Amino acid sequence: MTTYQNAGNGNPAGSGGPSADNQPGFGQRVDQIGSDAQHLWDNARGAVTDLRDTLDLKGRVERNPYLMVAAAVGVGYVLGGGLFTRTTGRLLRLGVRLAALPMVKDELLGMAEAALHGVEVGAGRVSGRTGAPPATGGPERS
């Protein structure tokens, strides 16, 4: 709990309480806050400069202007609240389907090749081109 001394006793230093010499005044506190704010501002400015140098936006725009315009449109779409809309859901579903298309195509081609190979082997057995025994243990039907 803070106690305040009586300012009218005439002897603030001799009363055993804090003196004006060891406690900073209001002006000193304001100066300290101002210098802390200036230090914080300098640190923030340095961080922004480092980020700008790291991203090299000016160079990227010069090298790939259309890509940077597309990136700006995408960032604007997300920041504008378009992320959780039906349109975004539809676009994501379309993107997943298009991304999965090559994998599905490869699987279908593999199954088709296996089926054609099975038809060729079966046709060869029926026509007698291969010397392989029939698949069943019984006699061959003509």
Q: Could you tell me how far CA 62 lies from the centroid of its own chain?
A: 24
Residue 18: per-residue pLDDT: 52
What whole-number distance in Å separates Cα of residue 69 and Cα of residue 66? 5
Q: Is the pTM of this model over 0.85?
A: no
pLDDT in tens, 40-95: 999 999 999 999 888 888 899 999 999 999 999 999 999 998 888 998 999 999 99
Three-state SS at 23: coil
pLDDT higher than 60, residue 96: yes
| 69 or 132, higher pLDDT | 69
Binning pLDDT at 50, 70 and 90, where does residue 132 land? low
Model pLDDT, residue 55 = 86
| Intra-chain end-to-end CA distance of the chain, in Å | 111
The answer to whether 82 and 88 have CB atoms below 8 angstroms apart is: yes
| pLDDT at 79 (0 to 100) | 92
Across the chain, the runs of DSSP E, i.e. the strands, are none
Identify the pLDDT of residue 57: 85
